[in-house]
Structure 1
Amino acid sequence: MNRLTDHLILISFDCLSALDLPILHELPHFQTILTKGALVEQVESIYPSVTYPCHATIVTGNYPNRHGVINNTLLQPGKTSPDWNWYRKCIKGTTLYDEVKKANMTTAAFLWPVTAKANIDYNMPEIFANRPWQNQILVSLLNGTPRFQWEMNKRYGYIRKGLQQPELDDFVLEAAVDTIKTKKPNLLMVHFTDLDTQRHEHGFSSKEAIQSLHRHNHRLGRLLEALKEANIFEHSTIIALGDHSALDEQKAINLNVLLHQQNLITTSATGKLINWKAYCKSCDGSAYIYLNAPEDQSTFQTVHHLLELLVEEPDFGIEKFITGEEAAARGADGTCAFMIEARPGFYFLEDYNGEFIKPITKEDTKTNKKYTMACHGYSPEKENYGTILMAAGKGIQQVTLPAIRLIDEGPTFARLLGVSLGHTDGNVIEELLTLKGEVT
């Protein structure tokens, strides 16, 4: 298969929403993309619409229950800080970067989720020190391309302040610009999280979120300029995309508190989880409920009855629930007993002691990162919850499309580089592409 471009630059602006379009139209570098290229006004995310499943979907073209990354974090009941789906091995099947590498093209990735230990030429994976004895720089070096990361840290590490934003994205930007100029990769994937961080901490439409959109505009401009300085701009395709949107919330639901009261979770005298029959695993705006013994019909019926009662009372914050089979039909994890959706203004946490419904204050968000002012993970069917995609450069039509699905992005990106992801849940969106003048 012939390719349509020599260099594909994927820029993921985490938590970019379709509601941000009016602002983006006013920002000069986004305006350049929108004027000269293609826009998809509504991209339907996946369920649950959280970052790691979304980014695995973007590079596979498949729903979570097929690619295997069904949540950000692993099911580890009782752990204060569960581990994340950091590693490439968490993804079943092939990926865009695997196929590009097989085609003898160069790959680079910066903080792209689920790429730890991936076969990427220049890889700075998103992974963090999750245990007290771990060192952040060492964890990153061991799970990506060591010499490359060491060099980037030596040159630009002074910019970073741990994992704080906006400094982290500013560091990533400099490393990506450097890599474009010196390595000229055929595929570059960069993940910026500044906007997502500001929305979590301050709210969807906060001044901090708006300021981060302006910083993203600057970052986009720097990347475009780097392509020009590397003399590959005319041979490149630039994709700017979001993975999900976000909704403001004011209250957290701790369903495990009720499961604890029903003796479905057992704790020690000090409050440590000892055993569980049913457990609510948060995906922020939605949650999975798992049974320790899936064949346990008594526990299943107990939880089912409890959910029926909770849905009837709006103040309890649960909008609806579906079975594991119904979750699988929507691309989520079919091994759960139930999947539950929060009402607007609510999200899920995993505490099993304390309040069932906890009001969230600004002070809470300062003292503990599990408390947020806005989050995602909700059903893509929620109103005003779509994300967007914009593209410009080689192989891209000047067109506006009303809607595609997140699962369609991977096959479309693969087509641009003349590779295939095989049989995927999504389709190539040919309306975005100029299928004439292919690069041989």
Structure 2
Amino acid sequence: MKRLTDHLIIISFDCLSALDFPILKDLPHFQTLLKKGAYVENVETIYPSVTYPCHATIVTGNYPNRHGVINNTLLQPGRLSPDWNWYRACIHGTTLYDEAKKSNLTTAALLWPVTAKAKNIDYNMPEIFANRPWQNQILVSLMNGTPGYQLELNNRYGHIRNGLNQPELDDFVLASTVHTIKTKKPNLLLAHFTDLDTQRHYHGFSTEEAITAIHRHNERLGKIMEALKDSGLEENSTVVVLGDHSALDENKAINLNVLLHKQELIITNTNSKLINWKAYCKSCDGSAYIYMKDKRDIAAFNEVKLLVDSLLQDPDSGIEKVLTGAQAAEKGADGTCAFMLEARKGYYFLEDFEGEYLKTISQEDVTADKKYTLACHGYSPEKENYGTILMAAGCGINPITLPSIRLIDEGPTFARLLGVSLGNTDGCVIEELLKK
């Protein structure tokens, strides 16, 4: 298969929304892409539309129930800080970087989700963080990526960082990306920036903080394109800018586990520590899975079904829709759940099993505890005004505007640009985006 580009640079601006276009079209570096490249007005995300499943979809072309990354975090009831789907091993089947490496192409990834311990990324700084008190952030990163490469980046640019805080983290990723382009000249580079997502979570969708982050992303994009020019790669490269999901404002948290606890489907000891469970509500922010510990426990299942059916009838419960496991699987989500719940606009799910079923969230709550947010994602792709976006320019790209594609179509299309194949995928190559 013919390769259409020598250098494919994929930039994920986490939480970039189709609704951001009126701002993007007036910013100079986004303008440069739009004037000479392709633009997709609306990209349909996946279910649940959270970061790790989305990024696994982008590099596989498959829905979550096929690639295996069905949520950001693992099902670990009672654990205050669950582990995330950090590792390449969490993904079933092949990926864009695996196929690129098989074709002897050089690969790089900077804070791209689900890449820890990925063998086929030559220069890897994975997104993984120390979520236990005894762990050290830099050591955790070094152990799960490319040690020498990361040490060099930390020595050169570590002073830019302020822990995992934004916008400093993205500024560090930017400096590392520019250095990687200039010194490694990878054939495939994946870079993930989370500044906008963070600002929307903690301040709201259309706030000044979010808009300022979009402007910072414009500057970051400009510096990446300048690096391609300075390193002599511009004429033989392709730049893709994409989002993984949008976000919706919310200020009410649903704690379904509070009701499961009251019905003794979640058991705690005298210290309020979870010691056993029959049913558990696992948050995906705007949606949630309900899992049964023992699928043969029909009595517990029926209790849960009565509960969710009654909540669905209550317009003040915050629950818009209830899917069975089979219906969730039809939408690409985890079919092993007993139920999947969709929150109404203005609501999202947490996993607290004590306190109130519904909690109203204020800016003061968010400032005091980062588990609370004022905008989030995870909702169904069917939600109104909830699409994301894609822009691309350079080698192999047909300068065209398309009304819509699906997130699952991106991976196969990127593979075609590199002259490789992801095999039989849920998505398909968007031929209109590519030069014949």
**TM-score between the two structures when normalised by the length of structure 2:** 0.99
For the residue of structure 2 that corresponds to 1:316, the secondary structure is coil
How far does residue 295 in structure 1 lie from its aligned partner after superposition? 1.9
Number of the residue aligned with 1:42: 42
Deviation sequence 1:325-376 (CA, Å, 0-9, x none): 1101110000000000000000000000011100001111011111000000
- For residues 244 and 432 of structure 1, the distance between their equivalents in structure 2, rounded to whole angstroms, comes to 20
Q: What does residue range 13-412 of structure 1 map to in structure 2 within 5 Å?
A: 13-119=13-119, 120-412=121-413
Deviation sequence 1:301-340 (CA, Å, 0-9, x none): 1111111110111211000100001101110000000000
- For residues 352 and 280 of structure 1, the distance between their equivalents in structure 2, rounded to whole angstroms, comes to 9
Q: Percent identity?
A: 75
How far does residue 246 in structure 1 lie from its aligned partner after superposition? 0.1
- For residues 296 and 338 of structure 1, the distance between their equivalents in structure 2, rounded to whole angstroms, comes to 15
- For residues 390 and 298 of structure 2, the distance between their equivalents in structure 1, rounded to whole angstroms, comes to 44
How far does residue 385 in structure 1 lie from its aligned partner after superposition? 0.2
Q: Which amino acid aligns with 1:85?
A: N
- For residues 7 and 301 of structure 2, the distance between their equivalents in structure 1, rounded to whole angstroms, comes to 51
- For residues 346 and 153 of structure 1, the distance between their equivalents in structure 2, rounded to whole angstroms, comes to 39
- For residues 243 and 345 of structure 1, the distance between their equivalents in structure 2, rounded to whole angstroms, comes to 21
Deviates more, 1:299-308 or 1:422-431: 299-308
Number of the residue aligned with 1:426: 427
- For residues 78 and 240 of structure 1, the distance between their equivalents in structure 2, rounded to whole angstroms, comes to 38
- For residues 104 and 368 of structure 2, the distance between their equivalents in structure 1, rounded to whole angstroms, comes to 48
For the residue of structure 1 that corresponds to 2:93, the secondary structure is coil
Aligned residue pair count: 435
For the residue of structure 2 that corresponds to 1:40, the secondary structure is strand
- For residues 379 and 297 of structure 2, the distance between their equivalents in structure 1, rounded to whole angstroms, comes to 28
How far does residue 299 in structure 1 lie from its aligned partner after superposition? 1.3
For the residue of structure 1 that corresponds to 2:246, the secondary structure is coil
How far does residue 380 in structure 1 lie from its aligned partner after superposition? 0.4
- For residues 64 and 33 of structure 2, the distance between their equivalents in structure 1, rounded to whole angstroms, comes to 30
Q: Which amino acid aligns with 1:5?
A: T
Number of the residue aligned with 1:438: none
How far does residue 294 in structure 1 lie from its aligned partner after superposition? 1.2
Q: Which amino acid aligns with 1:127?
A: I
Deviation sequence 1:139-186 (CA, Å, 0-9, x none): 000000000000000000000000000000000000000010011000
Q: Which amino acid aligns with 2:26?
A: E
- For residues 368 and 314 of structure 1, the distance between their equivalents in structure 2, rounded to whole angstroms, comes to 28
For the residue of structure 2 that corresponds to 1:385, the secondary structure is coil
- For residues 287 and 315 of structure 2, the distance between their equivalents in structure 1, rounded to whole angstroms, comes to 16
Q: Which amino acid aligns with 1:10?
A: I
- For residues 67 and 381 of structure 2, the distance between their equivalents in structure 1, rounded to whole angstroms, comes to 18
Q: Which amino acid aligns with 1:363?
A: E
For the residue of structure 1 that corresponds to 2:240, the secondary structure is strand
How far does residue 297 in structure 1 lie from its aligned partner after superposition? 1.4
Q: Report the RMSD for the aligned CA atoms in angstroms.
A: 0.5
For the residue of structure 2 that corresponds to 1:181, the secondary structure is helix
**TM-score between the two structures when normalised by the length of structure 1:** 0.99
Structure 1 residue runs without a partner (length 5+): 436-440
Q: Which amino acid aligns with 1:351?
A: D
For the residue of structure 1 that corresponds to 2:139, the secondary structure is helix
